[in-house]
Amino acid sequence: MAGWIFVFFLLVSIAKVQSSVFDVTSAAYGGKPNSDITQALANAWRDACASTWPAKVVIPQGTYYTRGAILQGPCKAPIDVQVQGNLKAPLDSKYLTKQDSWVGFQYVDRLTLYGGGTFDGQNNCYKNKYCKTTQAVNLRLDFVSNSMIRDITSLDSKNFHINVLGCRNVTFQYVTITAPEDSINTDGIHIGRSFGITIDHTTIGTGDDCISLGDGSQQIIVTNVTCGPGHGISIGSLGKYQSEDPVAGVLVKNCTLTNTQNGLRIKTWPGSPGFGIATHIHFQDIAMVNVGNPIFIDQQYCPYSQCAQKAPSTVQISGVTFANIKGTSATPVAVQLMCSRKLPCQNVWLEDIDINYNGDKGLLTSQCAYVKPQFTRVANPLACATNPF
């Protein structure tokens, strides 16, 4: 009798495990390739999120369309989303269900998003100067924790590709992000007010920052990232708003930047309305290939002349290391450390910097202000050739 009871419970367990797969193309949800699966995906997520067993939502191979998907938790158990197909946004933004988000996950713990599929934002604004820009982010993570995003592609987002807000302990691995070099505001991964975010073995080429860290980004690790084209890897911009949270504990290591407008950059606004902090930031083992402004602290960041240049930045930058940075610069000023006259940069180190310039616009040089960096194995032209401080 005990044996039969065991077999019975085993069969029940197998049935439950099998029922924890929620395929949007199943008869229960009715999604079909080359059609709109907005409702099918919403229903599959609803049922998977309610499962008390680990659940998996599946979008199989094929091409699918959705006007938007805001997938909310909390869920009752760990949840996987396996995207194997090509998911496409509407060409015209007016058909999006939300103007600032296309696909989003909110308040989810223990999410795994994977599968080799593509999130195609179908942004063609860079081809049409009369096109109205939109705020729709390809993939938005709000208050997601203990999660993994791996082996997916974000293509031609209408705005930022991936936006991370209020998240904890999330890893991005083997992610590919692609947009034309002249596409506007197409940051690869933007992080804000999040803790314990790791980006590893990821390839990003866009029309804006490959990776950007906003205020409140803490304990961030970026490793083995290939960046380019784009605007480089940026801390900031910071100091534009009142009461921003500190940026602290950032490691960028073993990355390659190719043909980017900037390299490793910390940028803060002048005329900041409040005081901010950016500290314990380390850039290490970075290869540069024809990069503009390879090493750049810019505390006079003011795009489109939208700020009061005369007022200094009130963001305190401290504890910054640039170590083993090698390669070629697209501009003769390869190192710029332009800090705030109100709050000069503190404890900045440059070690093993070997950057060459082969252009015809002058000799290799560097420029510094309101900073007294420490140098180890840095050639004289790169060691604050001009510094009025």
| Structural domain range at position 353 | 2-382
SS3 153: strand
Q: Give the torsion sign (CA, 290, 247, 304, 140).
A: positive
Do 298 and 337 contact (CB within 8 A), yes or no?
A: no
Q: Which amino acid is at 13?
A: S
**Using one digit for the tens of pLDDT, what is the confidence trace for 141-180?**
999 999 999 999 999 999 999 999 999 999 999 999 999 9
For the chain, give the mean pLDDT. 92
Domain count, the chain: 1
Query: Is the residue at 170 inside a domain?
Result: yes
Residue 389 maps to a domain? no
Distance CA 150, CA 145 (A): 15
User: What was the pLDDT predicted at 129?
Assistant: 62
What pLDDT, on a 0 to 100 scale, did the predictor assign at position 14? 40
- Which CATH number fits the domain that encloses residue 34? 2.160.20.10
Q: Percent of the chain at pLDDT above 90?
A: 86
What are the residues facing 74 on neighbouring strands? none
**Burial level of 226, CB count in 10 A (0-12/13-18/19+)?**
middle
- Give the model's pLDDT for residue 123: 94
Q: Helix, strand, coil % (nearest 5) of the chain?
A: 10, 45, 45
- Write down the pLDDT at residue 311: 87
| Domain contains 182 | yes
Question: Could you give the residue numbers annotated as active site?
Answer: 231
- Residue 387 included in any domain: no
pTM for the full model? 0.94
pLDDT reported for residue 71? 98
Kindly state the average pLDDT of the residues 78-101: 95
Assess if residue 166 is contained within a domain. yes
pLDDT at 130 (0 to 100):
63
Domain assignment present for residue 117? The answer is yes
Q: CA nearest 92: which of 134, 129, 64? A: 134
Confirm whether 124 is domain-assigned: yes
- Domain membership flag for residue 212: yes
